[in-house]
Structure 1
Amino acid sequence: MAAALPTTLRSVTNTKIIELKKQRDVYESSRAAIEQRANNRGKQLERIESLLEGSFRIEGVRVPDEDSSDEEEDVSARPPNAQKLNNHRKLLKQARVDPSFPPAVVDRIQQALNKDLELKSLQHQHAQFYSELVTEWISDAHEAAQVPAADNGAMSTSNFENVGRKEMHEQRTEWESIVFSEPAVDTEAILAYLEKLFTSQKETKKVFEDMKKNIVTFCHDLKEREVFTSDSVQLAIKGLLASDLLSEDKRAILKTFSTNKEVLKEVADVLQMRFESLETWQWTTTDGAITLEQRRHLNGKYRVFMDEDVLDALLVHQIGMEWASLLKTQFTIFFHSFAWKRAADTVPLEARHRREWFLGRDDSTDLTLPKSRHESYAVDYFMTQLPESADDGPRGYGDSDDELGSTSRKNPLETKHGLLHLLITEALVARHLHPERPHSIIRSDYKWFGPSLPHPTIFTTLRFFGIDDFWRTFIRKFLDAPLRFIQDGADGQVRVRTRGIPMSHALSDVLSETVLFTGDFAINQATRRNLYRLHDDFWFWGPFDICRRAWHEMSVFASVMGIEFNTEKTGSVTLAPSSATGNDSSDDDISVDSEDYSGLPDGDIRWGFLHLNPKSTRFEIDQAMVDEHIKELKLQLDSCYSIFSYIQAYNSYASRFFTNNLCSPSLAFGREHVDAMVATFAYIQKALFPSGRVTDHLASVAYSRFDVSSIPDGFWYLPITLGGLELRNPVIPLLAMSESMHHSPVRILEKALEEDEARYLVDKENYEKKNTGSGLGTFNLSKKRAVGNIDDQQFMPKDEYLRYREERSPALARAYGQLLTIPKQQSVDLSPEVEALFNTVKTSRKRRNGGRGAHKDFDAADPYWRWIVAVYGPEIVERYGSLQMVDPGRVPLGVVGVMRAGKIRWRG
């Protein structure tokens, strides 16, 4: 949060609170007078009529007299509560003159009038409490803004332990030892490696030369273009705001730019002038350097960010996006060319002829596993770090607390989760189709990849791809930045980067992805398969001998390029052949100890809080890692003084971070994974809170600070715009998903096999009915001889029919897609009772300026909100008369929106 912002917000909120208190005092005074006048009346009916008259006045509605009628005014235009009061008036009129009128109805009207007055008092009280919570949050942010970034780890309440400082210094020392050292790289070896890879085969050389020509042309064309316009600057601002690069102060500057068309035009003009004199461009520095800031992520790692000038950031970002878009297009064309090998149709020619003979057709189809794999890889995994166009937003790195993404494709975290789903699906399919073959999985990434990527490797690769001297000179300036850590002060040592790429820059992605593209292609050429890579995190799977070949090629690539594997994240598993035959297999049959599978990297397969159990072919939760992060979560929560910031941290860490590190469920993971996630969240709750309920803790804090008691649980969970605090419950989506998981992964594959077996019987019957002794295929005599000996009277055996299911079975392809699916959430039913609870919000909004402050996602169709309302709605409606606990106009919701939009900076 920019330093001046909390002060401004606090001023706005304080003004609103003062006005709110005035309104509350006026209401309570009016209520007291109404009740006093009513109590002074002698008869019950007179007391009720007095209450009714006062209620009309509080609603701001004219009190109907005996001469008025509904025909004189539009009844539909009255507020709903006024209509209810008018109904009370008519019934009381009957009670005065009709001896048969039920006394119980009179009592009920009296109770309703008293309850309405009490509800309004509660709503005023709630608005006051809510505004005080916002003020507390702003004060907490104001204190945080006064503490320099370098000291942010020490900012806390008295019970916050200064965590991570030792790790921060250790990681800085290692980072400096890499970034400011000259790497030993053999550029001649790199050039020879690239020459052999891209020019030794005639078809590959032709495709590569075409790509290189396009890159050379772009080098010239880009220099002549008007890159910076108001529209492109607006997109660049959007991209930078979506990244984690800039400080809050500089993010605020960008937001100011984006809201003023005249300013945007001026900024675009300045940037275009700088672009046109790019050969003289240099980084803008303060005291001779760009300051560096270390930021802690929830995984415990510190990343180093440059606090660069705003105009420099816009210039470099837009140039990076232009290059990223061009290279993504060229690499994609290359991928779809003949140069890129893909798994061939492994059905032998004779087998294809036999199938056509017996089936009367070529039974190849677009819905097969090889085609599904190729299309999925192209869309979701090929060069995902680069944007589809310069108008796209930048890509994040898929951290578990990273929400970065584009609306047009999966965000990085969704892609990572999808990759884990795919990995398990492929293992299940491999065991299902070929239990007799060992199936291996490799996972690794590169050690300190961003900071360690050698500059000679980058420039040798760029030159090989045709990027000219002009652009390589600019890129060298971009890389060779003078740097100084912010905590060292203005007199700290200034050093020039000699290795690695800056964090969170589109141009950095261009450089790293260009180098890594060559590795992707090398592995494809060696194996006819694809390396599944997300930035520098990569996976490979398949038959053991192919995986061994792939790992050898990965090792050669890393050695030549001067980068190292991260041994902590490197490992492999092999699902050894089952002792069973056919398509059945059991967990007990899987063992990796029966043979020596050397040639693959040592280590387990891990991701987030999960490790792959090769015996069960399932990812299982590492309890020790969960325990470690529970400790960190508790320290982070203890550092939050305000209730709002506590809930924001809880939602980010306990809900999103843990959920992301446990991986979203899929049908391939099975219900066991959902059950394990639910059990883990229950464990976290019990570890954090003695009662096992976060709401009990929050209620206790609210009582001690604001003297507010008897807070209903729903207050914490309902949306901000209804007067709640929007605490997230990560268990609810999981329970809703489990309702739709009817079959185990193995059963899904078994059903596909049963479908193919049933199809076999249909095809066999078709052949036996229609066969004339010459087969059903349209064969000439020479093709018939090529098929070989065929018994005209016998259809092909079932094992032959099923032998090529991977290449020919639509049922298996559908099962494969089904296993990759995230289970649909099946929430509680929208019963009349639940629907009535949602309708109380619609009724409330009619009374309040036609729906002002409506929550765009709060809808009965949303599975999460429907579940929340079913659990907590009855108590809320009983207490406040509606799910809308407070009039949105009476609380500073705009201030809350601004505060929630700020990025969380974790302490320590």
Structure 2
Amino acid sequence: MSSTGALPQTLKSITTTKIRELSKQRVLFDRKKKQIVADATAAQDLRAKARILLDGLSSLKGYPKDPLDQDDMDLDLPSYYRNEDGTGLNTHGMGQLFQADHTNIRRFLLQARYDASISDNMVREWISKLENELQFLELKHEHASFYTKLVTEWLSNLDESTSSPEIAGASFEKVGRVEMHEQRAIWEELVFTPGDHVDKDSIRAYLDNLFTKSKLSRQALELLRGDMHKLGSELATQGEWLDEKSLEWVSDALMNSDMLSDEKTNILKEFMRNKEVHQEVADVLNMRLASLESWNWGNDGIPVEMRRQLNGKYRVFMDADLLDSLMLQYLGTTWAVKFRSTASKFFRSLAWTPVQEDIPEEYREKRKYFTQDTEPDQIQGINGERTSRYQSDYFMSQLPETVMEGSRNYDDDSKSKNALETKHSLLHLLITESIIQKELRGEFTAIRSDYQWFSPGLSHATILTVLGYFGVPEVWLNFFKVFLEAPLKFVQDGPSASTRVRKRGVPMSHTLSDFFGEAVLFCMDYAVNQDTHGGILYRLHDDFWFWGTEETCNRAWLGMTSFASVMGLQFNMEKTGAVRMGSAALTKNTILPQGDIRWGFLVLDAEKGRFIIDQAQVDQHIEELDRQLSSCRSVFAWVQAWNGYFGRFFTNNFARPAMCFGRDHIDMAISTLSRIEKTLFSKTSDGASQGKGGVTDYLRSIMVERFGVRDVPEGFFYYPVELGGLGLLNPFVRLLAMRENIKQTPQKRLHRAVVADEEDYLHTKQEFKSSRHSTLPYGEKATSSMTLEEFMMYPETFSSNWLEAYLDLRHVPEELSVSPTASFSKHQSGLESRRSTKASPISSRWELMTPYWRWVAELYHEEMVRTYGSLAAVNREFMPLGVIKTLQQDRFRWQG
């Protein structure tokens, strides 16, 4: 967790104030409860005792008393139920008895004065409920006190971390692991030495050979150049660049990136809240844009820091001036959107070879005649779906489509259609394609690779030569050169850090960097398309995949190798590999790269035809998770680390389930998660096994040790913070909820498509015979009906049944929703009047809850109700919920 010192202090002050008020409430509650119990104990009979308890509870909870008889005409609370200032307790809606329960008991007690059918046993039951209600209210006060202690612990340790030199990174010699120092050394060697191995003339010659070899490609190139030159000219001459509205989307995009420190993020938020400052910022940025030719980074050096990612890699981020960052975000987004647009025009042009089967004209004529389909080429078959899916999800996917969309974070997992989902979809696509192509061709070959140190190692000469070739004006090439050659200094080196000028690579998280990278890699996309006569290179940034027959893959790999050599790039051999499934393994003399195809914790098993989890790699991350959890000094920080690592990182790197993976994949993921949890918590401090353990047992032991709190129910850990829980994620739930919706194997689904095609053939043949055509409208070549074998040819073009199977296999199963029980529904309705459930994932309306929260709510609700008297462990008013939400939104920084 990284925050500025001011923020924790402010939140700590808010929490302290709330604790002070809660303490007053607790003292008042204890005094009133004591009085109520004393009065009830002194009551002359059962009915009087029940009446005293009821009156006391009604006043504590703020419920009105109905004037059902003469004794109830005075609705004012007794004096001993008031504060000194005349106010009541802030306990409205707490407990298990709702306002209707209070009203009904009051009515029944009135009836008991006259009706002998109201027995003493019935009154005793009411008394028992009312006494239990007092206990629930007391427990909620205790839980509120415990909860604020958890938040205070969180804030105290956060405050210490921001002032600690070691954690703040003031001393490089004392901070960081061996791998951080190793990666920094490599990074510096790349970034501060120019890419002398790149020859500009060779790049231009390569691009000429690629883009000018046909009339169609030359025409498409000229359109692309015209668009880029036009944007450059317009940007350089327009009078005003940014107004208040455009500054809003620029600011949003910048805050969604990883560039800004928390301090600068808070400053920018304040800028955006103040309209006068907002306008001043826009004016200053326009002044900078007007004098862009003289812009530079300055000589002081831009601070940079290394941040550890969960995959063990370190990335280097710049902490530039806020106004410069806003200006660069505006320019980056503008150029990125334009390049994506004009590259998409190129993709849609005739210069780009489409995905298609080589179908003889004679066959097309015969199929038209047999099916009486006048426009068979309009069928959206698998090939059509391949093209449209590639364009929408993978082509230029790193760049935004509109300026309002802002930046696209390569690792983002928070948006509705985010990069993480696109990565998972690619894995689903690969396995689906393997199933389809093995059925059609008997073999399936796949390549996966990326470039070694692409962002820090990309040559500036390569970038500027490619952009110049695409028509970017000289004035902008000069500006981009200044942007790339930033003076940098490491904050870990302290005040005496030396400043060095970047000579290679692009800065992390800048949209301009995304634009540069995509412009260069666009050339590889097109080269592979041309070399393979319509093949698709699926690419997410510099992570790329290709599949098909081994022969086609050979051509694709030669194209990639040639591109890399000219552009000064090297393949990352740790992430490079090829696999062949089907009739045989890769031939011995293959030119394809050796190695496994891996992604996340998954490795592609050629024999099984599916991804399996690399358990040895998981073991390494179990150790890392243990290390990260051990560094957390508060329960809430521990929960954040657990949710990020166990709840999201592991499951994300097992990939989302899909129909093509089958149930086996979900079972494998669930078993692995179970093993991770048992490995973490089933050992004692000396490493000896102590049997079954779990995350909640461990947290219970921490709570006993630090706070003396025992016997908290399971639901406390998993229920949301809005209901007084910790919000611990349970990844088992989502996986199990999906499992039930995978009802057949992938092979069975494809078999259904084959059977459906046979049925379509019989139906079409019957129609053909009954029509008794007297003419041949599609030419002399179409002289007869088709055989079943002929009809089943080219299913990737003509078969709608295969297309449906193709889509179904890639489908992510819906999460099954559990059914609401009568018990849960009863207590859920009690949330309706509680302000504590505002925006809570567990709400008073079942239809508004997600399948995950329905499952969690139902699973743990009985113990929650038994313990706290309701689904909420404490009312919202008794918690510093705003402080918790603020801290949860802060970026969590992993140790190391």
> TM-score normalized by structure 1?
0.91
1:548 aligns with 2:554: yes
- Measure how far apart 1:302 and its partner are: 0.6
| CA–CA separation in structure 2 for the residues paired with 1:15 and 1:266 | 36
When the two chains are superposed, the root-mean-square deviation of aligned CA atoms in Å is: 2.2
TM superposition shift of 1:404: 5.5
Answer with 416-425 or 58-67: which moved more.
Answer: 58-67
Q: Find the counterpart in structure 2 of residue 836 from structure 1.
A: 826
**1:693 match:** 694
Q: Deviations over 1:408-455 (max 9, x none)?
A: xx21111111111101111111012222xx321000000000011011
Structure 1 Cα separation of the partners of residues 843 and 449 of structure 2: 39
CA distance 1:770–1:855, change in 2 (3 Å) = closer
What is the deviation of 1:617? 1.1
- Percent of aligned positions with the same letter in both sequences? 42
Residues 1:630 and 2:622 are matched in the alignment: yes
Paired position in structure 2 for 1:580: none
Q: 1:553 to 1:422 in 2, by over 3 A?
A: same
* Range with greater deviation from structure 2 (221-230 or 605-614): 221-230
The correspondence for 1:427, drawn from 430, 434, 437, is: 434
By how many angstroms is 1:839 displaced?
A: 2.2
Alignment counterpart, residue 790 of structure 2, candidates 781, 788, 800: 800
What is the CA distance between 1:837 and its match in structure 2? 3.8
Q: Once structures 1 and 2 are overlaid, which stretch shifts more, 879-888 or 733-742?
A: 879-888
Aligned to 1:391: 404
Task: Flag the 1:885–1:526 CA change in 2: closer, same or farther, 3 A.
Answer: same
1:276 maps to amino acid? A
Pairing 1:487–2:479 present: no
* 2:744 partner letter: H
Between the aligned partners of 2:432 and 2:21, the Cα distance in structure 1 is: 60
Structure 1 residues without counterparts, runs of 5 or longer? 156-161, 578-590
| Distance in 2 separating the partners of 1:390 and 1:853 | 30
Q: What SS does the aligned partner of 2:40 have?
A: helix
In structure 2, distance between residues paired with 1:346 and 1:8: 69
| Distance apart, 1:722 and its partner CA | 1.1
1:616 aligns to 2:616 (yes or no): no
1-structure distance, mates of 2:209, 2:636: 59
Question: Any conservation in 2 of the 1:621–1:676 contact (CA below 8 Å)?
Answer: yes
Structure 1 residues 351 and 141, CA gap change in structure 2 (3 angstroms)? same
* Matched residue type, 2:342: Q
The answer as to whether partners of 1:367 and 1:810 remain within 8 angstroms in 2 is yes
Are the structure 2 counterparts of residues 597 and 348 from structure 1 closer, same or farther at C-alpha, using a change threshold of 3 Å?
A: farther
Instruction: Check whether the contact 1:243–1:404 (CA below 8 A) recurs between aligned residues.
Output: no
1:896 corresponding residue in structure 2: 884
- 1:860 and 2:874 are equivalent in the alignment: no
What secondary structure is seen at the aligned counterpart in 1 of 2:547? strand
Pairing of 1:360-399 with structure 2 (within 5 A): 360-362=372-374, 363-398=376-411
Residue correspondence of structure 1 range 553-572 to structure 2 within 5 A:
553-572=559-578
Opposite residue 57 of structure 1, the aligned amino acid is S
Q: Aligned-pair distance for 1:102?
A: 3.0
Is the 1:837–1:882 contact (alpha carbons within 8 Å) kept by the matching residues of 2? yes
Q: Does 1:146 align with 2:166?
A: no
Amino acid at match of 2:358: T
Residue aligned with 1:575, SS: strand
Matched, 1:873 2:873: no
Alignment-derived partner of residue 348 in structure 2? 336
The CA distance in 2 between the partners of 1:494 and 1:246, in whole Å, is 20
Indicate yes or no: 2:413 matched with 1:403. yes
Q: Secondary structure at the match of 2:445?
A: strand
How far off its partner does 1:817 sit? Answer: 0.6
Describe the superposition over 1:150-203 as per-residue Cα deviations: whole angstroms up to 9, x where unpaired: 755999xxxxxx995100110010111111112121111100011111112111
After superposition, the C-alpha distances for 1:455-495 in whole angstroms (9 at most, x for unaligned) are 11111111111111111111111011111111222322221
Matches of 2:551 and 2:844 in 1, distance apart?
Answer: 53
Work out whether residues 284 and 308 of structure 1, in 8 Å CA contact, stay in contact via their aligned partners in 2: no
1:34 is aligned to 36
- Residue 366 of structure 1: CA displacement? 3.0
Structure 2 contact 466–519 (Cα < 8 Å) conserved: yes
1:454 aligns with 2:459: yes
Matched with 1:418 is 425
Aligned counterparts, 1:248-647, within 5 A: 248-284=262-298, 288-362=300-374, 363-398=376-411, 402-403=412-413, 405=415, 407=416, 410-435=417-442, 438-527=443-532, 528-577=534-583, 591-592=584-585, 595-596=587-588, 598-647=590-639
2:650 equivalent in structure 1: 658
SS at 1:501 equivalent = coil
Query: Does structure 2 retain, via aligned residues, the 8 Å contact 1:612–1:619?
Result: yes
CA distance in 2 between counterparts of 1:805 and 1:390 reads 40
Distance 1:219 1:63, change over 3 A: closer
Q: 1:64 to 1:465 in 2, by over 3 A?
A: closer
Indicate which of 72, 84, 103 corresponds to 1:86. 103
Structure 2: distance between partners of 1:504 and 1:283: 17
User: Structure 2 vs 1, CA of residues 100 and 439 (structure 1 numbering), >3 Å: closer, same or farther?
Assistant: closer
- CA shift for structure 1 position 832: 3.1
In the superposition, relative to structure 1, how do residues 153 and 283 fare at CA in structure 2: closer, same or farther (>3 Å)?
closer
Deviations along 1:250-273, one digit per CA (max 9) or x if unpaired, are 121112112211111111110110
Identify the range of structure 1 (239-248 vs 420-429) with the bigger mean alpha-carbon deviation: 239-248
| Partners of 2:789 and 2:575 in 1: CA distance | 41
Mapped partners of 1:804, 1:68: distance in 2: 90
Q: Provide the rounded CA distance (Å) in 1 between the counterparts of 2:230 and 2:397.
A: 24
Q: CA deviation at 1:844?
A: 3.6
Q: What's the counterpart of residue 778 of structure 1?
A: 777
| Separation of aligned partners in 1, 2:304 and 2:803 | 50
Offset at 1:673? 0.4
Distance 1:423 1:854, change over 3 A: closer
Identify the match of residue 211 of structure 1 among 192, 204, 224: 224
- Please give the alpha-carbon distance, in whole angstroms, between the structure 1 residues aligned to 2:661 and 2:734: 16
Amino acid paired to 2:329: H
Offset, 1:843: 4.5
Shift, 1:345, TM fit: 4.4
Gaps of 5+ in 2: 76-91, 683-691
Structure 1: how far apart are the matches of 2:441 and 2:147? 61
Residue aligned with 1:666, SS:
coil
> For the Cα contact (< 8 Å) 2:98–2:830, is it kept in 1?
no
> What SS class does the counterpart of residue 703 from structure 1 fall into?
helix
* Corresponding residue of 2:84: none
SS in 2 for 1:291: strand
Paired AA for residue 413 in structure 2: E
* Offset at residue 126 of structure 1 (A): 1.2
Deviation at 1:347, TM superposition (A): 2.5
Partner residue, 1:45? 47
Q: Residues 880 and 327 (structure 1 numbering): CA distance in 2 closer, same or farther, change over 3 Å?
A: same
The alpha-carbon deviation at position 54 of structure 1 amounts to: 1.9
Q: 1:522 offset after TM fit, Å? A: 0.8
